[in-house]
Amino acid sequence: MGDILEWRGDAYQVLACCGVFILLSWVLTKLLGLTWKRGLRVGDPHKGHRWFMTEILDKPTYCNFCERPLVRGGYCENCGISVHEECIDGATKRFACKVLVLSKRNYMNHQWVRGNLPLCSTCSVCGFHCGTEPRLCDLRCIWCQDKTHDQCLRSKSNVCDFGKYKTMILPPHCISLTVEHWRSKKRFVVREVSTPPIKNWSPLLVFANRKSGDNEGERLLMAFKNLLNPVQVVDLHEVPPESALEFCKLLPNVRTRILVCGGDGSVGWVLGALDKVKLKLPPYIGILPLGTGNDLARVLGWGSGYTGEEDVNEVLTSVMMANVTPLDRWKITIESNRRYFDVRRRKKVFWMNNYFSIGCDAKVVLNFHLHRESQPSLFTSRIINKAVYGLYGARDVLEQDCKDLHEVVELEMDGRKVDLPELEGIVFLNINSWCGGCELWVEGDEEHPLPPSINDGILEVAGLYSALHIARLQVNMADPLRLGQARSIKLTLKDTRSLPVQVDGEPWEEGPCVITITRHNQALMLAKGQKQEQIL
């Protein structure tokens, strides 16, 4: 007993010292003005071209500096000019990069780049094909994407209207930046944004992690910077979504749009950040799915995963044409039944967009997650990921780690206790896509008449007999066990052992506890090619 009291005393002293240190640090930074301001961070607008070195190009390309054919070299991720490696210095001095910020002006002139036009380009003046000769010829505006022959240029107006994406582009003359200093470092943050005279203007922010997918994240960041203002394209590897969403506060009366390039985890990260920022007009959220799974993207019509075959122009067009549909979001509260030194552990809170599950499917996801963390270099493609999932599923068929789950959990739905049959897993569905596109609740029946919906405030609850049952469900060789529909869930884990659980593909093990699931709020999502839902 004396040892325990001595340990507690030392712990309290350490906590007190940490608290004093944090308080002093906060006071000093306030007095010295060294705190970083929250806001959308951007690159240095005076830096010029941002070169990306590439070993191979996917179409015939010519150097913008020496005009000779180009196989490998540098590619500016903002303006799109291509040069040989030895021509980079000369091109940097000769060609201006895409202007991020343009002060003291209320309009934008065309910014032309010569040659390397997309295939099947058409002149905006005469209507004939351009950029077809085997040399560096004809012009493209890097803002409105207009193409024109050299001889047709004189017939073009000098003022750029930003083309067909003008309702999504943030004009450079509408932005002002501020510089923040921290010791010897500085960064640029968007300080003010004015609304341009463009009808139905709703600027788009693109969120992507350059580490996502098989380098797809990095390629998408460059592609969107070419079509939009690079200020609008955010690398989540460098800028957290909470900081980027501060941009929306600069436009309190304008509804912005956000395109999240990533998986369900990235979408959940952004939606969680929206809860913290608390905007007057929440943005509309679209998805460009990367990686595997992507159940939410499937339900909203964005597909199972971006493969690079769809042109980024088509993606932006889909975002412009998408409909708005609310998405229920759920709060999961976990209160442990275990006590440490007669003190109950604090509650844990998670947010669910897709589904929550316990048992055999969460076990497979947990094994996959641990394997990927220990050997990340092995998981470089969707095919490998699916193969590893299959191997762990087959192993669980033999081991049956979650056998007799029905004996160690107690389920209540809307305050009514449910008698469970022999099960190895339970899934609580907000969307009708689970485990990479499997539909567990296709439509209502006599016992459960309500069809599944992502915005009705109701969860569908299904049971899983085993890992083999999961495999059969994925190939439509078995039917799910429907346990019911409910607006609130209470799940009690009575066993002393830890059981695998997952929220939207994020797994862990949980010991004896009480889990409650209640509706949290709604997010406004963009659905591709679907009938518009009523916004609640």
Q: Tell whether the model's pLDDT for residue 7 goes beyond 50.
A: no
Q: Give tens-digit pLDDT for 164-207.
A: 999 999 999 899 888 877 666 778 888 889 999 999 999 999 99
Q: How far apart are CA 484 and CA 99, in angstroms?
A: 57
Could you report how far apart the first and last alpha carbons of the chain are, in Å? 57
Residues in the chain: 536
pLDDT, mean of residues 452-469: 89
Helix (H) / strand (E) containing 270: helix 264-277
55: buried, middle or exposed (CB in 10 Å: 19+, 13-18, 0-12)? Answer: exposed
- Amino acid making up residue 524: L
Record the tokens describing residue 456, joined without a space.
């009705």
Indicate the pairing of strand 112-114 with strand 82-83: unpaired
Q: Which residue has the higher pLDDT, 347 or 355?
A: 355
Asked if pLDDT for residue 503 goes beyond 70, the answer is yes
Give the pLDDT confidence score for residue 325 in this predicted structure. Answer: 95
Counting Cα atoms < 13 Å in the Cβ hemisphere of 469 gives: 18
Fold of 172-321: Rossmann fold (3.40.50)
Q: Using 50, 70 and 90 to split pLDDT, how confident is the model at 256?
A: very high
Task: Please check the confidence at residue 30 and state whether its pLDDT lies above 90.
Answer: no
Residue with tokens 């020496």: 66
Considering only CA atoms, which of 114, 135, 131 is closest in space to residue 62? 135
Architecture of domain 331-521: Sandwich (2.60)
In degrees, rounded to 5, the angle at the alpha carbon of residue 65 between the alpha carbons of residues 59 and 67 is: 55
CA distances to 62, 235, 327, 460, 476 from 430, rounded to whole Å, are 51, 29, 9, 7, 21
CA 127 to chain centre: 39
Long-range (24+ apart) CB contacts under 8 A made by 391-397 are 392/364, 392/367, 392/368, 393/364, 393/467, 393/470, 393/471, 394/467, 395/367, 396/360, 396/363, 396/364, 396/367, 396/467, 397/466, 397/467, 397/468, 397/471
Q: Are 132 and 123 in contact (CB under 8 A)?
A: no
Tokens at residue 393, please? 């599923």
Contacts of 1 (CB under 8 A, 6+ apart): none
User: What tokens were used for 203?
Assistant: 């600027």
- Strand-pair category, 204-208 with 257-262: parallel
Phi then psi for residue 476, to 5 deg, are 60, 40
Tracing tokens 């929250």 back to the chain, one arrives at 38
Report the C-alpha gap between 440 and 493 in whole angstroms: 24
Q: pTM score, two decimals?
A: 0.86
β partners of residue 179: 188
Per-residue pLDDT tens digits for 414-453: 999 999 999 988 999 999 888 877 888 877 666 666 788 9
> Which pLDDT does position 234 carry in this prediction?
93
Going from N- to C-terminal start, the domains of the chain cover 172-321, 331-521
Contact between 82 and 73 under an 8 Å Cβ cutoff? The reply is yes
Question: pLDDT tens for residues 277-332?
Answer: 888 899 999 999 987 778 999 999 998 888 777 889 999 999 999 999 999 999 99
Q: At what angle do helices 382-399 and 467-474 cross, to 10 degrees?
A: 140
Least confident of 135-144, 221-230, 443-452, 513-522: 443-452
The rounded distance, in Å, linking the Cα atoms of 399 and 309 is 41
Confidence of residue 480 (pLDDT cuts 50, 70, 90): confident
**Which two three-digit tokens encode residue 269?**
């990260």
Q: Tell me the pLDDT tens digit for each residue of 357-411.
A: 998 888 888 877 676 666 665 555 666 566 655 665 566 555 667 788 888 899 9
pLDDT of residue 2: 47
Q: Is 146 helix (H, G, I), strand (E, B) or coil?
A: coil
Q: Determine the Cα–Cα distance for residues 340 and 434; give it in Å rounded to an integer.
A: 36
